Amino acid sequence: MTNIREMTREDWEEVKEIYRFGIETGNATFEHSTPTYEAFISNAVNECTLVAVDERGVQGWCKCNRSSSRYVYRGVGEVSVYVHPREKGKGIGNLLLQTLIKRSEEAGFWTLSAGIFPENIGSITLHKKNGFEKLGIRKRVGRMQDGRWRDVILFEKRSDVVGV
């Protein structure tokens, strides 16, 4: 049975491995290697950095990073959701994102954003299913390590309870 809880330092090796799988797809992030634990959590909101776990270990993770240190943007965050390849298609990503949305609202967030590569259909579908709306496309906004320029689709979800 899947349990969603806040990530702990002890989860890092499994979280890092899932992140590595995402990096290897070439369609999850601009990163080309996994960060250190300290870098990973440096801008993360603790109560919105979650793992899905079962008896086999971490099934997936999600987090919300603060979009800015400026006070006016204190309720704006950027989300990431990653699921272990063995857990794809089981609803883990949906469970993580739904829990993250609820936790973020409890923490006072009124806007969540996500930047997703156009090729990452699974992530686009997940975010749309959970109320994220497409704002537009940032053309050639970043460059992969292999030199390819990539577009990113911007998605946003406004809270129905915070900042209304």
pLDDT above 90: residue 78:
yes
Tell me, what's the pLDDT at 128?
Answer: 98
Residue 55 lies in a domain: yes
pLDDT above 90: residue 164:
no
Residue 19 lies in a domain: yes
Task: Give me the residue label for tokens 């829990």.
Answer: 99
Residue 164 lies in a domain: no
Contacts of 36 (CB under 8 A, 6+ apart): none
CA of residue 120 relative to chain centroid, distance? 13
What's the mean pLDDT in 53-80? 97
> How do beta strands 133-143 and 149-158 pair?
antiparallel
- Number of domains composing the chain: 1
Task: Give me the residue label for tokens 């776990």.
Answer: 53
DSSP string, 4-37: EEE--GGGHHHHHHHHHHHHHHSSS-S-SS---H
Residue 152 lies in a domain: yes
Per-residue pLDDT tens over the stretch 33-53: 999 999 999 999 999 999 999
Per-residue pLDDT tens over the stretch 101-154: 999 999 999 999 999 999 999 999 999 999 999 999 999 999 999 999 999 999
Residues 122, 81 contacting (CB under 8 angstroms): no
- The whole domain housing 86 covers 3-158
pLDDT above 90: residue 83:
yes
Residue 163 lies in a domain: no
CATH number at residue 119: 3.40.630.30
Q: What's the distance, Cα to Cα, between the start and end of the chain in Å?
A: 35
